C-alpha cells in the first residue's frame, strides 16, 4: 500500500517531450514497467498525449508522453504540436529527450534541429535534458561534443546521459525528478498504469502492428478507429476501421492475398488478449479516405484536437 500522508507522499506530472523518434515512449514504458505507448522505429508514432502512471511507496507520478514536436505543416501536425505544448503547461517537471546517437558524429545539427523546442521550454523552471540512446554510441568520446552543444543550447539545465532501451541512467534521473514533485495524495489506484481507455489502447496496438508490416511511406497516412466494441462473458468483439490516404496504400496494407492485414491483425489480437485477459475476435477493414489527416471530424474521432 502507498503512504498517502501528504507530508511524506509526492504526486505530480512529468512531461516527456522532444523531436520525433527521440525515445519518449520507450522511456515511459521502461519507467512504468509496462507497455503503455506503442513503439516503432518510425518518427511520429505517438499522435496523442499518452499517460503512464507509476506508483511506489512514497510517490505517484503521471508521465505525459507527447507527440514529437516538428515543423511540418498540415492540420494533423498542428494538433500534434499543440498536444505537446499543452503537456508542458500542465507538467510539474519537463524532461526533454534528445537522440544522442543522431548527433554523435554531427553535433552541429543540435542547434538547428532543437531551436524550436528550446524556444518552447526555456520559460519553465524544472527542465531536464535526457541525452538518450547512449547505448548506440560505440565510442563514448563522441558524447562529449553532444553534451557541450546541449549545455550551450540549454544553459543551467541538468543533462543526463541515459538509455531508455537498456535503462542505464533512467532510475537516477527519475529519483532526481521525483524529489522536485509537490507533496500530495495519490490520484489513482496503485495498480493503475494509464488513464487511457481500452478502446484507444486497442486502436494503438493495431496501428503499431500495421506500422511494422508496411513500407516506410505508409504509416504517416494510416490511422485506426474502433467502430465496434462489444463485451461478452469472456469475449471481446472488436471492429476496427483502418484509414489510408490512397488506393495504392490500401493494397499495401492488405497485402498479397490479405497477408499483411491478417498478420498484423493476429499479432494485435494476441496483444489485446494479453492486455484484457479475455479472448478477442478482431475484424479489420481498410478504407481509402483522401485527406483524412486534414479532416477535423476524423481527427477528432481519433482523439486529436
Task: Identify the CATH number of the domain in which residue 164 sits.
Answer: 3.40.50.300
User: Do residues 224 and 287 both lie within one domain?
Assistant: yes
- For residue 128, tell me if it sits in a domain: yes
On the question of pLDDT at 92 being above 70, the answer is yes
Residue 151 lies inside a defined structural domain of this protein = yes
Provide the pLDDT for residue 1: 45
Q: Does residue 207 sit within a domain? A: yes
Q: Does a structural domain hold residue 189?
A: no
CB 215: neighbour CB atoms within 10 A? 9
Inform me whether the pLDDT recorded for 259 exceeds 60. Answer: yes
Average pLDDT over all residues of the chain: 85
Q: Is residue 240 very low, low, confident or very high in pLDDT (cuts 50, 70, 90)?
A: very high
Task: Give the closest residue to 122 by CA, choosing from 96, 86, 161.
Answer: 96
Q: How far apart are CA 222 and CA 243, in angstroms?
A: 6
Domain C-terminal end among 178, 206, 235: 178
Instruction: Assign residue 206 the CATH number of its domain.
Output: 3.30.300.20
- Mean pLDDT of all residues in 26-42: 76
What pLDDT does 77 receive? Answer: 63
The yes-or-no verdict on residue 161 having pLDDT over 60 is yes
Q: In the chain, how many domains are there?
A: 2
Please check whether residues 31 and 99 belong to one and the same domain: yes
Task: Return the axis-axis angle of helices 109-121 and 143-153, rounded to nearest 10°.
Answer: 40
Specify the pLDDT at position 51: 80
pLDDT digits (tens, 9 = 90+) for 71-80: 555 666 666 6
Residue 165's CB: how many other CB atoms inside 10 A? 17
Distance CA 277, CA 115 (A): 45
Which strands form 10-18's sheet, in the order they lie side by side?
A: 50-56, 59-65, 10-18, 93-99, 127-132, 158-161
Work out the average pLDDT over 204-226: 81
Residue 233 C-alpha cell reads as: 462473458
The rounded distance, in Å, linking the Cα atoms of 305 and 29 is: 24
Place of cell 489480437: 269
CA distances (Å), origin 158, targets 18, 229, 252, 295 = 16, 46, 45, 41
pLDDT at 211 over 90: no
Query: Do 288 and 242 form a contact (C-beta atoms < 8 A)?
Result: no
Shared domain check, 273 and 233:
yes
For residue 69 the three cell numbers come to 514536436
Q: Is residue 233 located within the same domain as residue 130?
A: no
Same domain, 174 and 247: no
In this structure, the answer to whether residues 28 and 137 fall within a common structural domain is: yes
% of residues, the chain, pLDDT over 90: 50
Region for residue 279 given its phi and psi (left: phi exceeds 0; alpha: psi -120 to 50; beta: otherwise): beta
Give the per-residue pLDDT at 302: 65
The average pLDDT across 6-33 equals 88
The phi, psi pair for 217, rounded to 5°, reads -80, -15
Contact (Cβ atoms closer than 8 angstroms) between residue 45 and residue 208:
yes
Domain that holds residue 292: 198-301
Indicate whether 193 belongs to any domain: no
Amino acid at each position: 500500500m502507498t503512504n498517502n500522508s501528504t507530508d511524506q507522499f509526492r504526486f505530480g506530472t512529468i512531461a516527456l517531450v522532444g523531436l520525433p523518434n527521440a525515445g519518449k515512449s520507450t522511456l515511459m514504458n521502461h519507467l512504468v514497467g509496462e507497455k503503455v505507448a506503442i513503439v516503432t522505429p518510425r518518427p511520429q508514432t505517438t499522435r496523442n498525449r499518452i499517460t503512464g502512471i507509476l506508483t511506489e511507496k512514497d510517490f505517484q507520478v503521471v508521465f505525459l508522453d507527447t507527440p514529437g514536436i516538428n515543423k511540418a505543416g498540415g492540420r494533423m501536425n498542428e494538433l500534434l504540436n499543440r498536444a505537446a505544448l499543452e503537456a508542458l503547461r500542465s507538467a510539474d517537471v519537463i524532461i526533454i529527450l534528445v537522440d544522442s546517437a543522431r548527433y554523435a558524429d554531427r553535433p552541429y545539427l543540435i542547434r538547428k534541429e532543437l531551436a524550436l523546442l528550446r524556444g518552447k521550454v526555456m520559460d519553465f523552471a524544472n527542465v531536464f535534458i535526457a541525452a538518450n540512446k547512449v547505448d548506440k554510441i560505440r565510442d563514448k568520446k563522441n558524447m562529449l561534443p553532444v553534451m557541450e552543444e546541449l549545455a550551450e543550447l540549454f544553459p543551467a539545465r541538468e543533462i543526463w546521459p541515459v538509455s531508455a532501451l537498456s535503462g542505464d541512467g533512467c532510475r537516477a534521473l527519475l529519483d532526481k525528478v521525483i524529489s522536485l514533485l509537490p507533496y500530495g495524495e495519490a490520484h489513482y489506484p496503485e495498480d493503475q498504469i494509464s488513464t487511457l481507455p481500452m478502446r484507444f489502447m486497442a486502436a494503438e496496438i493495431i496501428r503499431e502492428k500495421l506500422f511494422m508490416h508496411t513500407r516506410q511511406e505508409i504509416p504517416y497516412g494510416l490511422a485506426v478507429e474502433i467502430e465496434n466494441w462489444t463485451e461478452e462473458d469472456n469475449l471481446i468483439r472488436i471492429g476496427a476501421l483502418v484509414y489510408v490516404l490512397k488506393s495504392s496504400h490500401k493494397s499495401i496494407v492488405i497485402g498479397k492475398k490479405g497477408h499483411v492485414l491478417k498478420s498484423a491483425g493476429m499479432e494485435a489480437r494476441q496483444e489485446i488478449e494479453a492486455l484484457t485477459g479475455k479472448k478477442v475476435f478482431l475484424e479489420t477493414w481498410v478504407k481509402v479516405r483522401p485527406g483524412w489527416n486534414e479532416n477535423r471530424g476524423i481527427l477528432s474521432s481519433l482523439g486529436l484536437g
